[in-house]
Amino acid sequence: MKRNTKDVEASHRKMSRRALFLGGLQLAFAGGLAMRMRHLQVDQADQFRLLAEENRINIRLIPPARGQIYDRNGMILAQNSQSYRITIVPEDAGDVDAVIERLSRLLPLDPEDIERAKTEMRRSPPFLPITLADQISWDDISKVAVNAPALPGITPEVGLTRVYPQREDFAHVVGYVGPVSDYDLSKLTDPEPILRIPRFQIGKVGFEAKVETSLRGKAGAKRVEVNATGRVMRELDRREGEAGADMQLTIDAELQSYTQARLGSESASAVLIDCESGDVQAIASAPSFDPNLFVRGISVADYRMLTEDKYRPLANKTVQGVYPPGSTFKMITALAALEEGLIGTEETVWCPGHMEVSGRRFHCWKRAGHGHVDLNTSLKSSCDVYYYDLAIKVGIDKISAMAKRFGLGVRHDLPMSAVAKGLAPNRAWKSETYGQDWLVGDTVNASIGQGYMLASPLQLAVMTARLATGRSVEPRLVKSIDGVEQPGGAGEAMDINPNNLRTVRKGMYSVSNERRGTGYGSRIIAEGMRMAGKSGTSQVRNITAAERAAGVIRNEDLPWERRDHALFVAYAPYDKPKYATAVVVEHGGGGSKAAAPIARDVLLQALYGGTPPLEAYPTKDRSRIQAQQERLERERLKRDRGDDSEQA
Amino acid sequence: MSYLANNAQTVPTGLRKILYLNWPLTLLLASVAAVGFLMLYSVAGGSFSPWVEPQVKRFILGLAVMLVVAMVPIWFWRNISVLAYLASMVLLLAVEFFGTVGMGAQRWIDLGFMRLQPSELMKITLVMLLAAYYDWLPAEKCSRLQWVILPVIIIIVPTLLVLRQPDLGTSILLMAAGGGVMFLAGVHWAYFAAVIGAAVGLVAAVFKSRGTEWQLLKDYQFRRIDTFLDPSQDPLGAGYHITQSKIALGSGGWSGRGFMQGTQSRLNFLPEKHTDFIFTTLAEEFGFIGGITLLFIYLLVIVFCIATALATKDRFASLVTLGIAITFFLFFAVNMSMVMGLAPVVGVPLPMVSYGGSVMLVLMGAFGLVQSANIHRPR
């Protein structure tokens, strides 16, 4: 093709122009890119640097060590011990199912746990460890370690878990911890972030729950560098948390253990208070349970067994259980009358076995009657009619007020779950609650601790300590926090005529130390250790006239739920009160028969600081007592051995 | 008697050609590749595998290809342009039918020793064919409608094929580069004005239609546009890449966080950090200074190409050189705009730096053409 040179020149010039134009455009665009780069990298650099740091740095909480709990002598009640768990990293395991199958041949795996772990695996990135089995024994851990080559991705991990070495003995006092549940979180308005750590344990029941905030401590934090998928690349720095406060309880673990064993398999409870300081040294509720079961996550079968037991092992009867105090209340009625000056110690009342009050017949427990009864005899023989007569003279409001001064119907603020307030009724209470007038019959019932009157074993123990000392003793459960001694509960002297108190105490002495006294069978004969007490038998049903006519049925012949509660309150030594105790055996029958021996044994154990010599017991009981001591010792030994073999 | 034949005697021959190689341009290309090696070494966490080693081999192969192409006279390449274009076309169609699906798109033909991306080859052969066409076409005819339709078809067919893969980035590059060559060849500016006007009108119509009965795009397509315009709306979804990319760039600051110290790339917050988003790693670790230096080297390459094109009187040589310059420019301009959040993420690599064999070999071959144009110009 022929071309004219001039045309070629012209088109070349045009191309050059356009090339330069495009070149200029490109340069301008590059300039724009440079400006953008400057904008991002110079003007906004700080902001983006911050975003980059936010991307890569994660703050992880470090759970604090929970405060430990000790008894008054430093014996450990709740501790953090290393627990082993087996985790799997799916990414390292490769064939997860095959690895789990091999693992299950080495140690028992719960199919439920496996299912849960597999669900978790599907949700989380493959490099995150997932727990397959928790609370693994050291034996199983070593088995896994030996077989490590055949178990890719499986790692034994060490964590801290709560352990209660005293098991059943402190289940009701210390309570237990468990993993935070959604329900726990829903109760809090602004839950601490630490509570969202998986498997973080908090107090669920008892002391653990009540002083949760002090025991928990403060979480630490570490800053870690993570990659885009959340994998931790390295730790940048860490700030250690603050361990929770160590708590020392006023309870004597040895005595507590003895008391628990002494209550045996009855549905019963016992409280022992140091009269001088208010220290609760034993507070046992039977039957009990192993709190460690709850820490691990209790099985449905075990839990059902606990909830369906009619002896209610989960209830802490010492503070949650309220019972009509029965005759143990008579000291209060007597004091109310004495303080009002309505009776003299010499005055007697005629007890024919019953009393007519506004057309209704109120019976004495002794159908034949006590004859002429003075104050001392009324306590010793527990004559009911004497108190009917007294109460009508004093009136309910005075009796109720006196009850409250002795700690009945008043909530003692111990750090335990569901501490009951009990009830010391008066006129105002009845009209407020039922909109009814108080009747004389109500007063008559109240005078012997029946009717509306309700008290917990703890309240009865406090009442007894106040009677013994004349001071308003307050119960104390926490001896020291992180080594700092807590205020004691010795209390101020009560504004009560010492002579009147002495009169009542003498009556209680007669109960336990004089023939025909209701507690005479369970006395202490060691000089300087003698105890003063009062029995109580409280009805849980009304005895109808028809029943009475047919002859009162003996307790042994009734179904368990309808038998009377057996109560006994006591303190010792009589001359110089050291310990006060209250024992309640639910549906145990008579107080003097079912509760008094327990109260005596527990008091002696406390007074001697261990197994008491047989000389402290009446001669004819000694062989029986010796057998009992030996049996309890064997049982405790057996249980301790059981503990050891399980831990080994 | 053609203009070229007249001057053939003054063109260097034999081994003397090597002396006329544009050594500064070669050096610039080597330094761009070196930046690539450095960044690939960094994103691999300080390791020559898996990326640096193959990339170095490809660059050496690329240098050989460039030298061979440079030694062959430029008119030979003009003469085989039609053939080259048709060959690329056949390969593109082969991808359509036998290609390997990778990254959700059908782009490669597995040749055993390497994966060939015909669309990359097409970028150059398209430029070659258009240059040859306008070399053949008398200048006064090139604005006539019938002579405009043919090159438009030449551009549109491969563009549509690539769009089907789907590879939006490459289609844009093909269209823009083709249009660029037509513009340089002297096609009347009114055609371009019309096309650009129509495009702007279309975009406006699309946006206007939103929410009305005659809506032109599907809702999800609109949402994608939203994400591009404001990535922070969707920080974990589609906007994630661009947000992270901007964070990486920005956190580099003036002088960067230091070699291998970029947290965004090292901790995998950056997507495709060894390919399309490699510039973010560079900008994060070497900062504004590093980024602007690379941009400057790229511009120098463009300048050398334009200088070569203006120096030669051969129309094919000029057009092909300028076309290659435009293609090269589009590569890095689109890629950088993309990672800086100025353009949607369309999948265009950073030329000679991103990990990838086809682009490296094709670009080196293209620069071989530029070198050939330089060597074989009459002196």
Per-residue pLDDT of A230-270, as tens digits, reads 778 888 888 888 899 999 999 999 999 999 999 988 899 99
Give the max Cα distance, chain A: 156
Q: Which among B253, B266, B318 has the least Cβ separation from residue A15? A: B318
Is A337 in the same domain as A434?
A: yes
Question: What is the C-alpha to C-alpha distance for residues B32 and B24, in angstroms, rounded to an integer?
Answer: 12
Chain B partners within 8 Å of A55 (Cβ) = 244, 247, 263-264, 267, 269
User: pLDDT (tens digit, 9 = 90+) per residue, A347-399?
Assistant: 899 999 999 988 889 999 888 999 999 999 999 999 999 999 999 999 999 99
Nearest by CB: B251 against A8, A29, A52: A52
DSSP state letters, B90-104: HHHHHHHHHPEEETT
One domain for residues A393 and A420: yes
Choose the final residue of a domain: A247, A268, A297. Answer: A247
Q: Is A336's pLDDT higher than 90? A: yes
Count of A–B CB contacts within 8 Å? 144
User: Out of A10, A34, A52, whose CB is closest to B292?
Assistant: A34
pLDDT band at residue A546 under the 50/70/90 scheme: low
Pick the residue of B147, B251, B285, B315 with the most A CBs within 10 A to test the interface with A by mutation. B251
Looking from the CA of B106 toward its CB, the CA atoms found within 13 Å total 15
What type of residue sits at position A22? L
What are the strands, taking DSSP E only, across A275-323?
A: 280-286
* Residue B289 neighbours by CB under 8 Å, 6+ apart: B254, B255, B256
Same domain, A201 and A276: no
Q: Do A52 and B303 touch (CB under 8 A)?
A: no
Chain B residues touching A40 at Cβ < 8 A: 246, 249-250, 340
DSSP code string of A212-229:
HHHHH-B-EEEEEEE-TT
Whether residue A175 lies inside any domain: the answer is yes
Task: Verify that A395 and A536 share a domain, yes or no.
Answer: yes
Domain count, chain A: 3
What is the nearest CA distance from A37 to chain B, expressed in angstroms? 7
Residue in chain B closest to A29 (alpha carbons) equals B333
- With an 8 Å Cβ cutoff, the interface of chain A facing chain B consists of 1, 3, 5, 7-8, 10-12, 14-16, 18-20, 22-23, 26-27, 29-30, 33-34, 36-38, 40-42, 44-45, 47-49, 51-53, 55-56, 225-229, 233
Does the residue A527 lie in any domain? Answer: yes
CA separation for the pair B344, B245 (Å, rounded): 12
Are A629 and A511 in a shared domain?
A: no
Per CB-CB distance under 8 Å, the chain B contacts of A17 are none
Q: Is A471 in the same domain as A488?
A: yes
Go through B164-176 and write b for each residue having 16 or more CB atoms within 10 A of its CB, e for each that does not.
ebebbbbbbbbbb
The C-alpha atoms of residue B99 and residue B109 are separated, in whole angstroms, by: 5
Partner-chain contact B303 A23, CB within 8 Å: yes
Token couple for B277 = 């988003």
pLDDT of residue A647: 41
Strands A360-363 and A354-357: antiparallel
Report pLDDT digits (tens) over A409-456: 999 989 998 899 999 999 999 999 999 999 999 999 999 999 999 999
pLDDT in tens, A152-165: 888 887 878 899 99
Pick from B264, B267, B288: CB nearest A37: B288
- CA nearest A232 in B: which residue? B267
Q: Cβ contacts (< 8 Å) between B138 and chain A: which residues? A: 1, 3, 7
Q: Is B268 on the interface with A (CB under 8 A)?
A: yes
What are the structure tokens assigned to A399, written together? 């009796």
Shared domain for A221 and A358, answered yes or no, is no
Nearest residue in chain B measured CA to CA from A230: B267
Q: Which of B143, B263, B280, B305 is the mutation pick for testing A, counting most A CBs within 10 A?
A: B263
A11:B315 CB<8 A: yes
Chain B, window 111-170: residues with a beta carbon less than 8 angstroms from a chain A beta carbon: 136, 138-140
CA proximity to A203, closest of A181, A220, A182:
A181
Distance CA B91, CA B162 (A): 11
pLDDT of residue A544: 64
Chain A residue nearest residue B329, CA to CA? A26
Residues 272 through 301 of chain B touching chain A, CB cutoff 8 Å: 283, 287-288, 291-292, 295, 298-299
Mean pLDDT over the full length of chain A = 89
Which residue is it, tokens 């003036």?
Answer: B254
Chain B residues whose CB is inside 8 A of the A49 CB are 250-251, 253
Whether A315 maps to a domain, the answer reads yes
Task: Kindly state the percentage of chain A with pLDDT values over 70.
Answer: 96
- Beta carbons of B184 and A18 less than 8 Å apart: yes
Give the gyration radius of chain A's Cα atoms: 37
More confident residue, A271 or A140: A271
Distance from C-alpha of A204 to C-alpha of A213, rounded to nearest angstrom: 12
CATH assignment at residue A65: 3.90.1310.10
Annotate A118-148 with DSSP letters as a single string. Answer: HHHHHHS-TTS-EEEEEEE-HHHHHHHHHTG
Residue A311 counted as domain residue? yes
Residue A37 falls inside a structural domain? no
Determine, yes or no, domain membership for A6.
no
B254 versus A543: the higher-pLDDT residue is B254
- Burial readout A578-606 (b: 16 or more C-beta within 10 A, e: otherwise): bbbbbbbbbbbbbbbbbbbbbbbbbbbbb
User: Which residues of chain B from 211 to 250 reach within 8 Å of chain A, CB to CB?
Assistant: 244, 246-250
Residues 317-356 of chain B whose Cβ lies under 8 A from any Cβ of chain A: 318-319, 322, 326, 329, 333, 336-337, 340, 342
pLDDT tens per residue, range A613-648 = 999 999 999 999 999 999 998 888 887 765 544 443
What pLDDT score was predicted for residue A188?
Answer: 80
Determine, for residues B249 and A41 on separate chains, whether the beta-carbon distance falls below 8 Å.
Answer: yes
Task: Please give the pLDDT value at position B111.
Answer: 64
Q: What is the pLDDT of residue A648?
A: 33
pLDDT digits (tens, 9 = 90+) for A160-187: 889 999 989 999 999 999 888 888 888 8
Please tell me whether residues A219 and A281 are part of one structural domain: no
Q: Do A239 and A279 fall into the same domain?
A: no
pLDDT for position A127: 77
| Cβ-defined contacts of A638-645 (< 8 Å, 24+) | A639/A167, A643/A165, A643/A167
> pLDDT per position in chain B (379 positions), as tens?
445 555 445 677 777 888 888 999 999 999 999 999 999 999 998 899 889 999 999 999 999 999 999 999 999 999 999 999 999 999 998 887 776 655 555 567 776 656 778 899 999 999 999 999 999 998 888 889 999 999 999 999 999 998 887 788 888 899 999 999 999 999 999 999 999 999 999 888 888 888 777 777 777 777 777 777 776 666 666 677 888 889 999 999 999 988 988 888 888 888 788 888 999 999 999 999 999 999 999 999 999 999 999 998 899 999 999 999 999 999 999 999 989 988 887 788 999 999 988 899 999 999 999 999 999 887 7
User: Same domain for A265 and A239?
Assistant: no
Active site residues of A: 327
Domain with A201, as residue range(s), is 60-247
Q: Determine contact, residues B259/B375, Cβ cutoff 8 Å.
A: no
Residue A374, in any domain of the structure: yes
Give the whole-angstrom CA distance, residue B6 versus residue B340.
50
Q: Distance (Å, rounded) from C-alpha A331 to C-alpha A405?
A: 13
- Assess whether A421 and A559 both reside in one domain: yes
Question: pLDDT tens across A193-217, in order?
Answer: 888 777 788 999 999 999 999 999 8
Residue A583 pLDDT grade (very low, low, confident, very high; cuts 50, 70, 90): very high
Complex ipTM: 0.92
Give CA–CA dist B111/B121, Å, rounded. 14
CA distance B235 to chain A (A): 12
**End-of-domain residue from the set A247, A273, A304:** A247
Predicted local distance difference test score (pLDDT) of residue B207? 83
The domain boundary, picked from A188, A214, A247, lies at A247
Integer CA distances (angstroms), B329 to A26, A30, B299, B351, B363, in order: 7, 9, 8, 9, 12
A225 interaction partners in chain B (CB closer than 8 Å): 263, 267
Which residue among A5, A11, A19 sits closest to B322, beta carbon to beta carbon?
A: A19
| β-pair partners for A69 | A78, A247
Cβ contact (<8 Å) for B253 and A49?
yes
Confidence (pTM) = 0.71
Q: Please report residues of B whose CB lies closer than 8 A to that of A26.
A: 299, 302, 326, 329, 333
The answer to whether residues A525 and A552 belong to one domain is yes
In whole angstroms, give the CA distance from residue B347 to residue B173: 11
Strand pairing category for B100-102 and A579-585: unpaired
Q: Is residue A7 part of a domain?
A: no
**pLDDT tens sequence across A3-61:** 667 777 888 888 999 999 999 999 999 999 999 999 999 999 999 989 888 888 888 88
Q: Where are the alpha helices (DSSP H) in A363-426?
A: 375-380, 384-394, 396-405
CATH of the domain at A367: 3.40.710.10
